[in-house]
């Protein structure tokens, strides 16, 4: 599912347990074209992504998978 440009999407992610997890996800998702900021919260199991352009959820899923975690879906 594509997101609208200039929007914030919150994703539920499993497997995060510490600051290192948050950093790994932030770096991978932050490298996607159009992403302007990423905030990962291991405590809440949420990743907030701000994007200036439309994002494909599968691209976000692949980035989170590359970091070693699992995207459950939008929160």
Total number of domains constituting the chain: 1
Q: Please list the pLDDT of the chain residue by residue as tens digits (75 residues).
A: 554 558 899 999 999 999 999 999 999 999 999 999 999 999 999 999 999 988 899 999 999 999 999 999 999
Which CATH number belongs to the domain containing residue 22 in this structure?
3.30.70.100
Please tell me the predicted confidence (pLDDT) of residue 62. Answer: 97
Q: Which domain holds residue 39?
A: 7-74
In degrees rounded to 5, what are phi and psi of residue 2? -80, 145
Per DSSP, helices labelled H in 3-72 are: 19-30, 57-67
Q: Is the residue at 21 inside a domain?
A: yes
Please tell me the predicted confidence (pLDDT) of residue 38. Answer: 97
How would you classify the pairing of strands 35-41 and 70-74? unpaired
pTM of full prediction above 0.85: yes
From 57, 51, 55, select the one nearest 39 (Cα to Cα).
51
Residue 34, Ramachandran bin (φ over 0: left; ψ between -120 and 50: alpha; else beta): left
Q: Is the residue at 1 inside a domain?
A: no
Tokens of 64: 């989170």
Q: Is the residue at 56 inside a domain?
A: yes
């Amino acid at each position: 599912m594509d997101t609208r440009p200039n929007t914030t999407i919150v994703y539920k992610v499993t497997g995060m347990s510490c600051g290192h997890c948050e950093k790994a996800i932030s770096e991978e998702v932050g490298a996607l074209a159009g992403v302007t900021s990423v905030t990962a919260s291991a405590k809440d199991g949420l990743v907030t992504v701000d994007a200036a352009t439309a994002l494909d959820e599968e691209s976000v899923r692949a980035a989170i998978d590359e970091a070693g975690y699992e995207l459950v879906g939008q929160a």
